[in-house]
Structure 1
Amino acid sequence: MRTPERTAPRPDGVSRTAVLTAQARAEEQRRADRLFEDPLAGPLAAAAGGFEAPSDAARQAAAHFVVRTRYFDDRLRAACAAGLRQVVLLAAGLDARAFRLDLPAGTRLFELDLPELVAFKEDVLARHGARARCERTAVPVDLRGNWAGALTAAGFDPAEPTAWLVEGLMTFLPQPDNDRLLGGLSELSAPGSGLALEHVNSAYRRLPQMRRAQERLARHGASWRSAVDDPAAWLAGHGWTATEVTHQAEVAARVGRPVPEIYDPARVGDARIWLVAAERP
């Protein structure tokens, strides 16, 4: 009698947000005019069991995840074009950039996330025979703990300029935790390092249109816990110079996608999801 194949547990809690993002990327992969290639998003989302039937707000959020993915892809490509060959994805989730982007030779990419999510992802990737296009290291760690020590133990070189991607994380952490995270990241960043991150401002966090979506996330232990109203000033306090502070509506227009109502400044006023790039002088 054949023994059933053992698999790592499916993502739960805040890790369920990674499934929602993977589903959005999988849907984008099916479009003829897709903004990026991600053939692994579908298998990863399917193995995770998917998400409940999306509400209208969730569908608009999926549109944001797609535009956000393209933004971070472009920032990573720009960093590599500038000569950076060390990349760190904090809260990598079910991200597949190491497998789908044609990164330059010599690129070393580190993915950090919770141990149970890393185990699940590695299991699915192995079963699908996925092969990274660069040197890839998965680092299982809780970002509220000594993640810097785990990263350096995995081979990260603090003396080498680094491209940092912080996508889909900061809203779910209290702001003091974000300060500690950015502080630790800054200590590991050699001059010439680059950073791309996402956050929201206070007005966006309070939007009535987002209340139902936030309640839905809270049921999965993924409540929104923070906001930042001046990303450039916040980054400057940690030794970074913002080179771009933009938002979802601007990036959507840049890549030729319609702006969902919950991100349209004409409808939401000053509410913003920030997409920010910065450099370490």
Structure 2
Amino acid sequence: MEEDQFSLTAVMCAYLRASHAKYDDPKIFDDFLAYQLIPDENRLLIEQGLIKYLKLKAPELAASLPDQTTALAWITRAMNSRSNLLSRSRYTEEALEAAVNHGTQQYVILGAGLDTFAFRRPDLLAKLHVFEVDHPNTQNFKTQRITELGWEFPAQLSFISMDFTQESLAVALKKSSYNPRVKSFFSWLGVTMYLTREEVFTTLRTIAAIAPAGSWVIFDYFDIDVFNPQKVDPQMQEQIAHAQEAGEPMKTGFDPAMLASDLVNLGFYLHEDLDQVDIQKRYLCGSKYVHLVQAIIK
């Protein structure tokens, strides 16, 4: 991410969640507030880019669609069907609800982006204190937008600014009202692939050190094959190239066969590691290169 630039990936993810909530039925994950969080100028730029991409890649299809609304619904549906964006959000909130029923009282969202949980789930918010941790540029973009919309900031919501590549999560949380003695739930979605292997392990090691035993972390990761040109398909190569062009290069994947032992060394035991087949059985959509993981602090 360039200096003074908020995460374009975070805005795009919010747009795809918003489009799913607006156009699709059945809904895998109903983020009915995401659309409002995206300023008009950003939304228009995204939509212009999507229409241009559709015309370039599938000109006959683009010409057959009756209007721009139909075209946008088609392309965002196609993009969501090939990604874990919706399934990872639903998976996380299902797991969080179960954790709350077992005594979890703190929810830490790492790389929160334009997450709307604290405004969308008052039922769970009443039982939790939520900490949104993200890069200051993206967090400032989000809080300014919330203020523009006139939304009330919940008392149970705290914002913590930090750059994962430069700062310590432990230090950032110690400066907040986070309680290291209270069972916690950490979600870390759409982030690990943008960090180095050591940065990922440092953050997981920190979580294991600052939260009590029985606390949870959910994260997603790329299979290491993503970075092997002989094993990755052209669509994924294109996605990696687009991230590079946006100034948010993808860097890291992991070997699923080694993950359980890696997590043990970091202070966790692996509860669940879902691959594409598992994810599609539950939520109908998923990427063949992305895994969803639940791990518990030992």
Change (3 A) 1:80 1:89: same
Decide which structure has the larger Cα Rg and report it. 2
Q: Tell me which of 253, 264, 271 is aligned to 1:236.
A: 264
Aligned-pair CA distance for 1:77:
1.5
Is 1:128 the counterpart of 2:146? The answer is no
Structure 1: any 5+ residue segments left out of the alignment?
Answer: 1-10, 264-271
Aligned to 1:4: none
Aligned to 2:99: 79
Q: Tell me if the contact between 1:37 and 1:100 (Cα under 8 Å) persists in the aligned partners.
A: no
Change (3 A) 1:58 1:214: farther
Query: Could you tell me how far apart the structure 2 residues matched to 1:238 and 1:222 are?
Result: 26
Aligned-pair CA distance for 1:133:
6.1
The one-letter amino acid paired with 1:81 is N
Change (3 A) 1:59 1:147: same
Aligned to 1:40: 33
Q: Tell me if the contact between 1:98 and 1:134 (Cα under 8 Å) persists in the aligned partners.
A: no
Query: Could you tell me how far apart the structure 2 residues matched to 1:59 and 1:32 are?
Result: 10
Is 1:62 the counterpart of 2:80? The answer is yes
Percent of aligned positions with the same letter in both sequences?
24
Count of aligned residue pairs for this structure pair? 259
Aligned-pair CA distance for 1:59:
6.2
Aligned to 1:277: 294
Aligned-pair CA distance for 1:181:
1.2
Deviates further, 226-235 or 55-64: 55-64
Deviates further, 125-134 or 56-65: 56-65
Structure 2: any 5+ residue segments left out of the alignment?
Answer: 58-74
Q: Tell me which of 193, 207, 211 is aligned to 2:215.
A: 193
Aligned-pair CA distance for 1:203:
1.2
Aligned to 1:91: 111
Deviates further, 86-95 or 133-142: 133-142
Query: Could you tell me how far apart the structure 1 residues matched to 2:151 and 2:262 are?
Result: 38
Aligned to 1:208: 233
Change (3 A) 1:39 1:126: farther
The one-letter amino acid paired with 1:208 is D
The one-letter amino acid paired with 2:233 is P
Query: Could you tell me how far apart the structure 2 residues matched to 1:48 and 1:184 are?
Result: 38
Query: Could you tell me how far apart the structure 2 residues matched to 1:200 and 1:49 are?
Result: 28
Matches within 5 A, 1:141-156: 141-144=162-165, 145-156=167-178
Q: Tell me which of 20, 23, 29 is aligned to 1:28.
A: 20
Q: Tell me if the contact between 2:205 and 2:267 (Cα under 8 Å) persists in the aligned partners.
A: no
Per the alignment, in what secondary structure is the counterpart of residue 202 of structure 2? helix
Q: Tell me if the contact between 2:8 and 2:246 (Cα under 8 Å) persists in the aligned partners.
A: yes
Q: Tell me if the contact between 1:26 and 1:38 (Cα under 8 Å) persists in the aligned partners.
A: yes
Change (3 A) 1:134 1:168: farther
Per the alignment, in what secondary structure is the counterpart of residue 204 of structure 1? helix
Q: Tell me which of 10, 24, 43 is aligned to 1:18.
A: 10
Query: Could you tell me how far apart the structure 2 residues matched to 1:48 and 1:181 are?
Result: 34
Give the alignment's TM-score, normalised by structure 1: 0.84
Q: Tell me which of 163, 177, 180 is aligned to 1:158.
A: 180
Change (3 A) 1:219 1:253: same
Query: Could you tell me how far apart the structure 2 residues matched to 1:12 and 1:224 are?
Result: 17
Matches within 5 A, 1:249-264: 249-255=277-283, 257=284, 259=285, 263=288
